[in-house]
Structures are given as C-alpha cells and as structure tokens.
Amino acid sequence: MGQSLLRPIFVRTASLGVVLFIVLFLLVLTLGATGFSDRILSAQVGEELRALRTSLSDTVTDPDAVEEIIETRRSELEAAYGLDRVWYERLPAVVAQVLVFDLGEARSIRAADGSNNVGDIIAERLPRTVLLLTTSLIITAVIGLLLGVWLSTRPGSRIDRAVSYVAAITNGLPAWWAGILLILVFSFWLRILPSGGMYSTPPPEGAVESFLDLLWHALLPILTLVLVSVGPSIYVIRTMTLNVALQDHVTVARAKGLPDGLIRRRHILRVAAPPIVTGLILGLAATLGGAILIETVFAWEGMGQLYFKTFSGEPDEAVIIGLTFMFTLIYVGARLLLEILYVFLDPRVRYQ
C-alpha cells in the first residue's frame, strides 16, 4: 500500500521538476532570442564605461590614451559578461547555476544589509510576500467554506442570488484598481489605515512593536487580496458542494433527521473536499501574479514589487531569472502538496 502511493508521488514530483526546467528553458529562450539579455548586459557595460571615462578625464590628458584604456576595458567587460559569445552559449550555464540555487549576483539591487547576492535579496523579500498571500488565502478559504457550504443548502434563495452577483462583481475587479479604491476610502477619507509602505515613519524600535506595525501596514493589501478573491471562492465552493448536496446520500441523511451542521460537515463538505482543496491550492499559486500589482500599489517590498522594479527600472538578468525560478518553484511546491493531499483526502484516488 505504502509503495503503491509513494511511487506515483515520486513520478509526479519528477514530472513537476520537468515543468520547472521547461519554464527556465523558455525564459532563457525569450531573454536570448529577443536580444533582451544582450541589451541588458550592453547597457551595463556602457554605464561602467561612462563612469570610467569620467574618472579618466580628470587624470589623463591624452584623448588617444583614454580611448585605448576604454577599448581595453570594454573588451574585458564583454568577456566577463559573456557578450563575446552568442546567447545560447552563455545562458544555459546560468540555468545550471539556478537549478542548484546559485542565483548569482545582482548589479544594481541590494538587500537591506548591502548584499548583492540574488539569493539574499529574494530570501529577504520572500517572507513578506508569503505573509500577504497566506493570510489572504486563509481568510478567503474560511469565508468561502462557511458561506459556500451554507449557500449550497439554499439554492435559488435571495441570499444565494445576491452572493452570486457579488461574486461576479469582485471577480471582475482589477486588483490594482481595488487597491487604489481602498487607499482612497481607508487612508484618505477615513484615515484609519496607512496608504502604503511596510513601517511607520519613524519605524518602531522594539521587535514586537515593529512586527505589530508591519501587520498594521499589511491590513490594507490583505484586504484588497481578499476582496478580489473571496467572491469567486464562495461561488466556486457553493457550486461544488451543491452538486454533492443533491446526491442521494445527503437526501438519506436529511430523511434520518440529522442536524444541518452535521450534514454539511460529514456528508457534503467531506465529499467535496478534494476539488475544493484543488481550487484553494492552485489559487495560492494564481495570486502570485496579483501580488506583483498589489505590492507595487502599496509599496510593499516583497517579491512582486521586486519583479516590477526589475522590469520597469534598470533590468537585471540575474534577478529576473532568480525571481522566475522562485515563482515557478512555489507553483511546483503547491502542485506537489496538492498531489499528496489528494491521497489523504480521497483514499479512492489511485494514480496511474
């Protein structure tokens, strides 16, 4: 029994590893074939040469000597950055480094301690993004389960139709627009929540005070994520549990006079658990894209804002690849967790 379950889980893990490799391969193909990688590195070389020319102008008076030094330095930088090779010879080595968690060094972005190691930068920002995503997911899941299961026992009622309308409206709300709207309401009109950032100015000194201040600033972005996801969550869970609620075993349970709460927990929610968990776990991975916009709107220094900065400011190849790797790794981890949970939630499931 144990081996029959471990083997398919191992196979799924291997297949998800292939997915991770394919995503990195496509990223490298996009950066290289479009010339984006070469433009990033060429811009960096040009910036360093301009700084060198400025420093030489104060010490070297011979223009020919300056140009000779510049050209020599240009050749050294192009060799160091790999610009003397075509992209398909340079970038695969970068992928190999990323796969062993050697994410390289950023050229312009630094962590709070001054480190330019991409791994240190991501490790600093990852917990901040996880705080937003996991908290909003838990709140959304709790509300979705409570209301969705409850509504499944009242199909066609006024409250059921009202929730369906609300779900459709919140599903169509752009995350960035909802964030700006909440900032206007709670920060500028009511003045009860901060409009952005992670800490007050000046920041609190104690560890406990800093953590509480961090949670205070996280309330509005979390509320935004819940707002745009709770409606669809309620409606999807309601639909899933409604299909179960109409089955014969639920009718028999009601005929026996069992309490509604017991029927919802044991006869409806337990049977509908696998697809519900699927939606919640994959929803966590899907909100990663929304986190980029939410963190940017609220100036929340997480991985999403770092992604936006990397593309909107001075592009950094190492940071782009490292962030894409981490986002994909989170998705792969969510899928693997889902595969394991399915085994325990539904013993009838057997993978071929």
**290 touches 178 (CB < 8 A):** no
Which residues does residue 117 pair with via DSSP β-bridges, in sequence order? 105
Does any domain span residue 328? yes
Instruction: Domain count for the chain, please give it.
Output: 1
Task: Map tokens 């993978």 to a residue.
Answer: 351
pLDDT along the chain (352 residues), means of 10: 60 72 76 72 77 76 78 82 75 72 75 83 87 87 84 80 82 84 91 87 83 90 89 83 79 81 77 77 68 86 84 73 80 76 64 47
Residue 79 resides in a domain: no
Instruction: Find the domain containing 300 and state its range.
Output: 118-345
- Residues 95-110 have pLDDT tens digits of 777 777 777 777 778 8
Q: What is the pLDDT of residue 264?
A: 75
Domain assignment of residue 350, yes or no: no
pTM of the model: 0.74
Q: What is the pLDDT of residue 221?
A: 92
**Dihedral angle over CA of 70, 72, 77, 83, nearest 10:** 110
Bridge partners, residue 105, by sequence? 117
Cβ(48)–Cβ(23) below 8 Å = no
Give the CATH number, domain containing residue 229: 1.10.3720.10
Give residues with Cβ within 8 angstroms of 75, minimum separation 6. Answer: 84
335 in a structural domain = yes
Q: Kindly state whether residue 291 falls inside one of the protein's structural domains.
A: yes
Amino acid 223: pLDDT: 92
Q: Is residue 107 part of a domain?
A: no
Q: Does residue 82 lie in a domain region?
A: no
Position 316 in a domain: yes
Burial letters 188-215, b for 16+ CB under 10 A, else e: eeeeeebbbebeeeeeeeeeeeeeebbe
